[in-house]
Structure 1
Amino acid sequence: MRVRSGRLGVAAAYFDGTPEQVGRIRTWCAGATGLDEEAAAAVKLVVSELVTNAVRHSASGARCGRVKVTVEVLPGQIVLVSVTDDGPRALRPTTVPTLTTHISDTATCGRGLRLVAALAEKWWWTGFRGGPLTVWALIDPHRDLVA
């Protein structure tokens, strides 16, 4: 992990693009927000899904791949997170983050962004097809998810 902070109140770090790093990234994000365990739960879950997608669907999951994770706590304790990948994997179709319209009960993937959409106030991606992508999520950790 290499940590950088460009702006006051923003934490940013690079992590190896391996599934084993996801737990470490969750712990780092919780610490970066300064929120208690309960409030940080939604942030950790969203970041976990975004990192997993980057590792699974981009060059971040290839040998020597990495992801950049940023966390910023905005006024009102709203949390802005982003995960930047290393771009598309060689010899694979280029993809962009998209919510699927239908997921079968037996599908083994396709639920991650739906979970992000349910937990985040808003999510979006920046970048361009064929290059590194950054997926952003704006999370209110105090939002009542039951309502």
Structure 2
Amino acid sequence: MSDDARGPIQATRTFPGTAENCGRVRSWVRSLLLSYPAVRDSVELVASELFTNAIRHTRSGQPGGTVRVALTTVGDPPTLLRLEITDQGQQSQVPRQAARAVLPPEEAQSGRGLFIASVLSRAWGRFPSDGARPSDQGLEASDGSMTTWVEFLLVPEMEMAGSP
């Protein structure tokens, strides 16, 4: 596929925070990345993992909750893809733990999402999604909502020797 077929992407969509919508997130991401087959599967998997984290660990998974998913390319032609998943904040007043990308024990049934994101991407991180204010632990959003971002390099596929 030639580079000139790869246009910019700037798309945002809000999904209801239910497990049934994880497949819709994957399909939406896949449809946006048809011109980027080298990263499509990785971005789709990471989007699924982060969406699942949002509905399991934040108010996004409570009745009426939502998760915002955004995909944006950077550069002309695009050289970087940024995925952002924004949740609706923590479920309780229990102090938030730092997000860490560690491989859980082999027998663990969950806990691999950020590890997968860290392995498949160029970089990842989190930031308060709105109304950041100082607190004892650093910056915290006024409503607790957080955006987890992941960046992927957009590298053209290698052409085989002798191909036209």
TM-score, normalized by the shorter chain, greater than 0.5: yes
Q: Label 1:80 to 1:123 Cα distance change in 2 as closer, same or farther (>3 A).
A: same
* Aligned-pair Cα RMSD in Å: 2.4
Please state how far the C-alpha of 1:107 moved relative to its aligned partner: 1.1
Tell me which of 89, 92, 103 is aligned to 1:90.
92
1:118 and 2:103 correspond = no
Q: Label 1:42 to 1:142 Cα distance change in 2 as closer, same or farther (>3 A).
A: farther
Contiguous gaps of at least 5 residues in structure 1: 1-7
Please state how far the C-alpha of 1:116 moved relative to its aligned partner: 0.4
- Is the 1:67–1:86 Cα contact (8 Å) retained in structure 2? yes
State how far apart, in whole Å, the 2-side matches of 1:34 and 1:81 are. Answer: 15
Partner secondary structure for residue 103 of structure 1: coil
Contiguous gaps of at least 5 residues in structure 2: 1-7, 129-139, 158-164
State how far apart, in whole Å, the 2-side matches of 1:35 and 1:141 are. Answer: 10
Q: 1:33: which partner in 2? A: 33
Please state how far the C-alpha of 1:40 moved relative to its aligned partner: 1.0
State how far apart, in whole Å, the 2-side matches of 1:73 and 1:28 are. Answer: 16
Please state how far the C-alpha of 1:35 moved relative to its aligned partner: 2.5
1:139 and 2:152 correspond = yes
Q: 1:46: which partner in 2? A: 46
Q: Which amino acid aligns with 1:45?
A: L
Partner secondary structure for residue 63 of structure 1: coil
Partner secondary structure for residue 22 of structure 2: helix
Number of matched pairs: 136
Q: 2:66: which partner in 1? A: 66
State how far apart, in whole Å, the 2-side matches of 1:143 and 1:131 are. Answer: 38
- Is the 1:41–1:141 Cα contact (8 Å) retained in structure 2? no
State how far apart, in whole Å, the 1-side matches of 2:116 and 2:13 are. Answer: 23
State how far apart, in whole Å, the 2-side matches of 1:96 and 1:35 are. Answer: 35
Q: 2:133: which partner in 1? A: none
Describe the superposition over 1:72-98 as per-residue Cα deviations: whole angstroms up to 9, x where unpaired.
122334210100001011365534422
Please state how far the C-alpha of 1:38 moved relative to its aligned partner: 5.3
Partner secondary structure for residue 20 of structure 1: helix
Q: Label 1:96 to 1:19 Cα distance change in 2 as closer, same or farther (>3 A).
A: farther
Larger radius of gyration: 2
1:15 and 2:28 correspond = no
Q: Which amino acid aligns with 2:105?
A: S
Describe the superposition over 1:8-32 as per-residue Cα deviations: whole angstroms up to 9, x where unpaired.
8411010000111011111111223
